[in-house]
Amino acid sequence: MLKEITNISLKQFSIEDKEVINDSDNIKLTIIGESNLNKLVQFSEDKNVYSTNVWFKMAVLEQKLTEEETKNFDDSDSRLYVSLNCIFKVDFVYEGLDINDEVSKNNLAKEVGRYTGPYIREVVANMFNRTLFPVPPIPLEFFDELEVVE
């Protein structure tokens, strides 16, 4: 169980936006987003203090993509309007984590996502306000589905 988040800091942030020139009245956007926890480290066993990176990636495209296209998407796609990547370092106290158990790590990912999501959403929205592209909606539950990546 997550007891306390002691630190959230932005380690890396990159955003690339293109000047949007589209005469069509019928624009359909796809927002591709991924969030992952990686590099989980335990500082001390007796205090249950851990650190991890939360990696967040979002791409905004000019048309709807199929599920297969979404899986195979890369940043060189000509339909791309905006590509955003950021990594946050999160330090926290967590009781009862078995780092060798997938279920335990997935529960950790969901809890960390739930509590860090509003902070990440605020940083992303703030950065989008400085681009040519309007801030896309980020679903509220988006960060509840973080995955553990080794």
SS (H, E, C) 50-112: EEEEEEEEEEEECCCCCHHHHHCCCCCCCCEEEEEEEEEEEEEEECCCCCCCHHHHHHHHHHH
Residue 5 token pair:
């988040």
- What confidence score (pLDDT) does residue 10 get? 92
What is the model's pTM? 0.77
CA-wise closest residue to 1 among 108, 101, 145: 108
Q: Is pLDDT at 9 greater than 90 in this prediction?
A: yes
Q: What percent of the chain has pLDDT over 70?
A: 83
Q: Is pLDDT at 1 greater than 60 in this prediction?
A: yes
Which strands make up the sheet holding 30-44, listed edge to edge? Answer: 2-17, 80-94, 49-61, 30-44, 147-149
- Please state the domain count of the chain: 1
- What confidence score (pLDDT) does residue 31 get? 65
The more confident residue out of 140 and 30 is 140
Q: Report pLDDT digits (tens) over 27-67.
A: 566 666 666 777 888 887 777 898 888 888 877 777 777 77
